[in-house]
Copies of this chain bind each other. A is one copy, B any other.
Amino acid sequence: MKLTATLALCASLLQAQKGVLPSWNDGPAKQAIIEFVRATTDKSSPQFVPPEDRIATFDQDGTTWVSHPMYTEVIFALDRVAELAPQHPEWKATPPFSAVLAHDREAMAKFTMKDLEAILMATHSGMTPEDFQSTVKRWLVTASDPRFHRNYTDLVYQPMLEVMKYLRDNGYKTYIVTGGGQDFVRTYAEQVYGIPPGQIIGTAVDTQYAFDKAGQGILIKEPKLLLNNDFAGKPEDIYLFTGKRPRAAFGNSTGDRQMLEYTQSGGGARLIMLVLHDDPVREYAYGPAQGLPDTKIGTFPQSLYDEAKTKGWTVISMKNDWNRIFPFGSTGSASRRKKSK
């Protein structure tokens, strides 16, 4: 190829890249994504990946939408306890339900995993998946985040929506792999992320096949955990659902560590990314700088940061790598900085 032709090609490639991932600032994170896609989809690349193996998995809470200061699904469950209370008079005197009904914030702040599990089970079982999803849908259009005054489904990260679409446009199949409830996320994932129900891998309770009064076959959600899709559960369930190892994986906390390790262990070109919450102005800051313990769920402790650096994973700085956080409004960093002056 002549030099002029090469230069023309480079110019056109750069031009094409400009339109890609517009909410990402130029930098190592954006470059890592673009280079990974090039290396795995260019047929002449030694790291080419056939389309059927192009699998990308995304944690949800803190990775694709806001999960601070409380998981959205937990807020839903607490609201449901209040709504269901008339049918459960015993809850008034039964912890942990009593604390929720009394709005006892101090007691709620001390909830153990067992307390939360009791609340989740009571609000996530005893009905068909269809009825559960109707309840979630009703809640999602009315509930509002107290800081952003937006529905929770608005609080998704625009840059992650762009990565999902960019990967799909390049033949990747995108999955949500969440510690959250599979049926909860299925309610809105198609609309919000463009990801269909069959590509939502989440924590799941058992269902029981039964007949309704009309003799029709239905499923009933049981108060019994079937898949605990967090930590080691993530790679285990990814294999259960897909029969494959992901090529790209996105997380933000210790619950994603094994998914990221498992993805990288496949060898070849892999994209491993961690979202670092370091933007208290536009979102929140609760990264390694907070000195959080290694075992606390949903956190990004120093040990994870160190592992990322050692293994060459890409840490995404919300503050520096994203010029826009949410799809709504003017959340660009330039305009924000002007406003915050």
Contact = CB atoms under 8 A, between A and B. Distances in A.
Nearest to A261: B217
Interface in A183-213: 183, 186, 190, 196-198, 200, 204, 206-209
A176 to B, nearest CB: 12
Interface string A204-240: 1011110000001111000000100000100110011
Contact of A243 (B200, B217, B242, B262): B200
Contacts of A261: 217
Contacts of A241: 198, 241
A265 interface: yes
A261 B183 CA distance: 22
Contact of A232 (B208, B236, B262): B208
Nearest to A231: B209
Contact of A239 (B196, B207, B235, B264): B207
Contact of A240 (B207, B218, B243): B207
A198 B261 CA distance: 21
Nearest to A207: B236
Which of A129, A235, A243 has most chain B Cβ within 10 Å?
A: A243
A47 interface: no
A244 interface: yes
Contact of A235 (B217, B232, B244, B258): B217
A55 B243 CA distance: 19
A106 interface: no
Contacts of A104: none
A246 B196 CA distance: 15
A115 B250 CA distance: 43
A275 B204 CA distance: 33
Contact of A198 (B183, B232, B235, B242): B242
A204 B258 contact: no
B196 A208 contact: no
Contacts of A190: 52
A218 B323 CA distance: 37
Interface string A151-174: 000000000000000000000000
B262 A209 contact: yes
Given A129-B239, A198-B244, 4 more contacts: A129-B243, A198-B242, A198-B243, A207-B236
Nearest to A128: B239
A52 to B, nearest CB: 6
A313 to B, nearest CB: 13
Contacts of A226: 240
Given A197-B244, A241-B198, A217 B52 contact: no
B243 A186 contact: yes
A182 B240 CA distance: 9
Contacts of A242: 197-198
Contacts of A200: 243
